[in-house]
Amino acid sequence: MPERAVILVNGVLDQPARIARRLAGWSDALVVAADRGSHHAAALGLRLDAIVGDMDSIGETERAAFERAGVVFEIAPAEKDETDLELALLYALRRGARHMVCIGALGGRLDMTLANVFLLTLPALTGARVELWDGGQTAWLIRPPGDEISGQPGDTLSLIPLGGPACGITTHALKYPLRDETLAPGPARGVSNVLLAERARVDCTEGCLLAVHTPGRA
C-alpha cells in the first residue's frame, strides 16, 4: 500500500511549475483528486489514481475519459456532511497513506480555505502527516510533543494556535524564542518568526499549532 498521497483540491493552483518540481520525489505516491481538483492533474504532470466526491463538477464526457484511463471513482451523495477534501483525505488514509500533501486547498472561497486548514485537526488524521502546499509555502499541524522544521537560515516560520491555546511551547534555532510559553487564538505573536539554522525545533506540551514555513523572508 502507498505510504504517501498527493491530494488535488479545487482551489487556486499557485505556481504549478514550482509545485511540480517539489513533487519530483513523489512518483510512488497515490494521487487522489477531490472532485474538480482533477483539473489540476495535467498542469502538474500527474496521473490520477482516484477521484473522490459528489462529482457535481465533472461532466459525463470527462468522467468517461477518466474511467478509460483506469481512474477509480468513489462517489458520495451531493447532500453530505463532509467536504470533498475531507472524503479524499479519509480515502487516502484507508489506502494506507500516512504522509499526504494537499495542493490547491487554498484561495478562492474564504470559507473553504478556512475549512480546509481546520481539516488538519481532524481526529482521524492524528498520527498522519498532512501538509498544505501553496507555491513554495508549506503548512502543517504541530501536535505534542513537537516537531522539527527544515529550511534555510532566514526562512519565515509562523506558529498559529488552532482550536484553543497551545501550551508549553519552547522553540530552538528561531530568532524570536519562546520558552515554555502559551500561544492563544487571537493575538498574532507567533507570526513571522525566522529560522536561524537549517534545522529548527518547536516543542509543545498541549494543543495544536499550525506551522507555516515560507522560504526566504516573507
Q: What is the pLDDT of residues 33-72, one digit of tens each?
A: 998 899 999 999 999 999 998 877 777 788 888 888 888 9
**80 and 159 part of one domain:** no
Whether the ω angle into residue 145 lies within 30 degrees of 0, i.e. cis, is yes
Whether 85 shows a pLDDT value over 70: the answer reads yes
Are the C-beta atoms of residues 198 and 174 closer than 8 Å to each other?
no
* Mean predicted confidence (pLDDT) in 90-108: 95
The DSSP letter of residue 174 is B
Instruction: Please name which of 203, 194, 116 lies closest in space to residue 162, comparing C-alpha atoms.
Output: 116
The DSSP letter of residue 23 is G
Domain of 149, CATH number, reads 2.60.120.320
Domain that holds residue 203: 141-214
Instruction: Choose the final residue of a domain: 120, 135, 150.
Output: 135
Instruction: Choose the final residue of a domain: 135, 158, 182.
Output: 135
**114 and 184 part of one domain:** no
**114 and 100 part of one domain:** yes
Give the span between the Cα atoms of 210 and 116, in whole angstroms. Answer: 12
Instruction: Choose the final residue of a domain: 135, 159, 194.
Output: 135
195: its cell numbers: 529560522
Q: How much is the pLDDT for 41?
A: 93
Question: Which contiguous run of DSSP H or E holds residue 218?
Answer: none
